[in-house]
Amino acid sequence: MAEIVGGITTSHIPAVGNALANDESRNDPYWKRFFDGYEPVKEWLAEVEPDVAIVVYNDHGLNFFLDTVPTFAIGCADSYSNADEGWALPQLETFQGDAQFSWHIAESLIEQEFDLTICQEMLVDHGFVVPMQLMWGHLEGWPVKAIPFAVNTVQHPLPSARRCLALGHALRKAIESYPEDLKVVVLGTGGMSHQLQGERAGLINVDFDMQCMDSVINDPEWLASMTNTEIIEQAGTEGVEIIMWLIMRGALQANVKAVHKHYHAPISNTGAGVLVLQNAS
Ligand code: DHB
Ligand code: FE
């Protein structure tokens, strides 16, 4: 049976993709502490050797535009590519998917009353690509298959934090009912506090980011009980991306061990956090 080896949450800032494409920036004082925070994540991944990554992210207008935005969408293809989305990010090696596993997840989630949009073709943007690069970009070729799982955090009304946590619970059932022996890691991307436009552009709320990290580890109910308006008040309009961390958290057991926790602000416009969690038992 497929097994969840753990979960990772990380911000997905496009400037990171450019810094990675330009090796020089990595030892720059601006970047060093941020990138150092990912070394333990890479070590953990090298130890647990997942076969598949389910990458929960939001599309920012590359595959879906404001005219048609699904609340939840899953990629059911055998490969995915990124494309120019306006951040000057390079075209990366194609990501290998696992269509059969995607269809199983779609079937199980829809049976559990999460009515997903099914995408047999999907372009993936920085929300998916930057976390993949942070985890595995230092290796020759992608060592995992990847399944994109897109959540609408852009065009209101958005799904609630509580709905995202419940989706995580359903995702766990979906994964653990797949008969193949696969090791699966779930990535929840986006966040932490940031606002890219309007009067509060540049907002970062370190205290709220700390509370969110603690909540995702120890008390997901705390974040799940907030409305999106309350989250946006604290974390900024784009900071609401943090609700996707709850999908990863919901896929794990009630008690988890934090293998790694790191935070650095600001990176670009954002409070940048990364967590590695494993089931406690
Ligand atoms: C930034 C952060 C994001 O999450 C995003 O999607 C785009 C830009 C930023 O901090 O610049
Ligand atoms: Fe984003």
Task: State the DSSP H helix or E strand holding residue 247, giving kind and residue range, or none if neither.
Answer: helix 245-250
pLDDT at 147 exceeding the cut of 90: yes
d(CA 168, CA 128): 18
- pLDDT one-digit tens code per residue, 161-207: 999 999 999 999 999 999 999 999 999 999 999 999 999 999 999 99
CA 129 to centroid of ligand 2, rounded, Å? 11
C-alpha dihedral over 175, 278, 217, 117, to 10 degrees?
-20
Task: State the DSSP H helix or E strand holding residue 34, giving kind and residue range, or none if neither.
Answer: helix 29-36
d(CA 276, CA 259): 5
- The closest residue, in CA terms, to atom 5 on ligand 1 is 13
- pLDDT one-digit tens code per residue, 69-121: 999 999 999 999 999 999 999 999 999 999 999 999 999 999 999 999 999 99
- pLDDT one-digit tens code per residue, 57-70: 999 999 999 999 99
Token code pair at residue 41: 């994540």
Q: What is the pLDDT of residue 143?
A: 98
Break the chain down into helix, strand, coil percent, rounded to 5.
40, 20, 40
Q: How far is CA 58 from CA 65, 102, 125, in A?
A: 12, 17, 9
CATH code, 3-279:
3.40.830.10
Q: What is the pLDDT of residue 24?
A: 76
**Residues having CB within 6 Å of any atom of ligand 1:** 12-15, 60, 190, 194, 196, 238, 241, 268-270
Count Cβ atoms within 10 A of the Cβ of residue 228 and give its class: 0-12 exposed, 13-18 middle, 19 or more buried. Answer: middle
- The closest residue, in CA terms, to atom 2 on ligand 1 is 13
